[in-house]
């Protein structure tokens, strides 16, 4: 295994799939000559050419609309939206077209579309560029939503997404690109819609995904020094949502803390907590705790921004409370 960054893992997945399948192409703002806002597609334009790495106007509805048309006619587009906040400008295309066309036409066509985008705060980009609205998109049947938290998962899940015949929103976190992890050298895919136990434990089940996995692992290390062993379940996909590892872990620990970066109201944590209560109520030994962002537009000021975002200390405190 090579130890590479989250950015490199995503870049390798794209490169390998484009080499493997000539129907795969990339389109988006600054993906070509510039090499991508986060340098994921650096070097792609020179190698694959302008027909397979296409710079677009600053028009998200156009990007997604063109990608939908390309997917319907047999290509496998990977559309990049600079940030998930801009996906709102293409909301009709994403949730009313991409998510529903195959169903509405009785399966007569497939829609092998991947929309790559960046979510999350922590980079002082202001309230309109720092949101984590993952749960909004996961609400819609027909659209798969994937949000990996490690380089290994990022590469394997992106390759699976590109090979899928379904529309997939692939969410990368803005502050994970420099994080490193071991990634297999060989070709591999990770099935979409499968949660993973990232750390074994016995005392509390900690359910999380994306950036919050990193914080949860740090919290687990601190708690372990005090003799508290948490089991961390990484959702990885928000739709389909695989609750089986969560339920099995909860039946072992009888306590749960759910950590997400999005707002607490109507969020991923709400859904996970409701399903635990529905499917494993007899195993509940303490009320389920939810850790999330403060209910406010994210501030620009760095100190205020960090105050609004979930922190390791919040997770540690919540675990101790359920114990």
Q: Which residues are catalytic?
A: 60, 129
Q: Residue 97 carries which DSSP code?
A: I
> Over the Cα atoms of the chain, what is R_g?
19
Q: CA–CA separation, 304 vs 131, rounded Å?
A: 15
Q: CA–CA separation, 174 vs 169, rounded Å?
A: 15
**Environment class of 279 (CB within 10 Å of its CB; exposed 0-12, middle 13-18, buried 19+):** middle
237-239 vs 204-208, strand pairing mode = unpaired
Q: CA–CA separation, 297 vs 289, rounded Å?
A: 22
- Cα 21 to Cα 34, 70, 159, 162, 232: the distances in Å are 24, 15, 11, 10, 36
Q: SS3 of 259, please?
A: strand
Q: Which two tokens stand for residue 313?
A: 């200390």
**Vertex 52 angle, CA 50 and 56, to 5°:** 65
76-81 vs 53-55, strand pairing mode = unpaired
Q: CA–CA separation, 25 vs 44, rounded Å?
A: 10
Q: Which two tokens stand for residue 269?
A: 């944590």
Query: How many CB atoms lie under 10 A from the CB of residue 55?
Result: 15
Q: CA–CA separation, 13 vs 44, rounded Å?
A: 12
Q: CA–CA separation, 161 vs 239, rounded Å?
A: 13
Q: Which two tokens stand for residue 229?
A: 């062993």
Q: Give the count of alpha carbons within 13 A of 232, CB side only.
A: 24
């Amino acid at each position: 295994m090579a130890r590479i960054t989250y950015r490199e893992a995503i870049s390798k997945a794209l490169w390998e799939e484009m080499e493997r399948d000539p129907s795969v192409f990339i389109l988006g703002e600054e993906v070509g000559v510039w090499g991508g806002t986060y340098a994921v597609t650096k070097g792609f334009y020179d190698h694959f050419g302008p027909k397979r790495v296409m710079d677009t106007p600053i028009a998200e509805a156009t990007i997604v609309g063109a990608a939908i048309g390309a997917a319907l006619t047999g290509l496998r587009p990977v559309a990049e939206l600079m940030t998930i906040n801009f996906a709102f400008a293409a909301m009709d295309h994403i949730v009313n077209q991409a998510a529903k066309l195959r169903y509405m036409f009785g399966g007569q066509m497939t829609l092998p579309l991947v929309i790559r985008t960046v979510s999350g705060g922590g980079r002082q980009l202001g309230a309109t560029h720092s949101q984590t609205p993952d749960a909004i998109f996961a609400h819609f049947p027909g659209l798969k939503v994937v949000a990996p938290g490690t380089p290994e998962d990022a590469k394997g899940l992106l390759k699976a997404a590109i090979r899928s015949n379904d529309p997939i929103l692939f969410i990368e976190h803005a502050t994970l690109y420099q994080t490193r992890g071991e990634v297999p050298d060989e070709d591999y895919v990770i099935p979409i819609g499968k949660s993973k136990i990232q750390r074994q434990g016995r005392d509390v089940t900690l359910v999380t995904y994306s950036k919050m996995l990193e914080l949860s692992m740090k919290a687990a290390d601190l708690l372990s020094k005090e003799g508290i062993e948490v089991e961390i379940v990484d959702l990885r996909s928000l739709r389909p949502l695989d609750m089986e590892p969560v339920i099995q872990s909860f039946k072992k620990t009888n306590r749960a803390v759910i950590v997400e970066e999005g707002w607490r109201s109507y969020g991923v944590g709400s859904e996970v907590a409701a399903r635990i209560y529905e499917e494993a109520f007899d195993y509940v030994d303490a009320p389920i705790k939810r850790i999330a962002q403060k209910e406010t537009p994210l501030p620009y000021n760095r100190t205020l921004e960090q105050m609004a975002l979930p922190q390791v200390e919040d997770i540690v405190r919540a675990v101790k409370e359920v114990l």
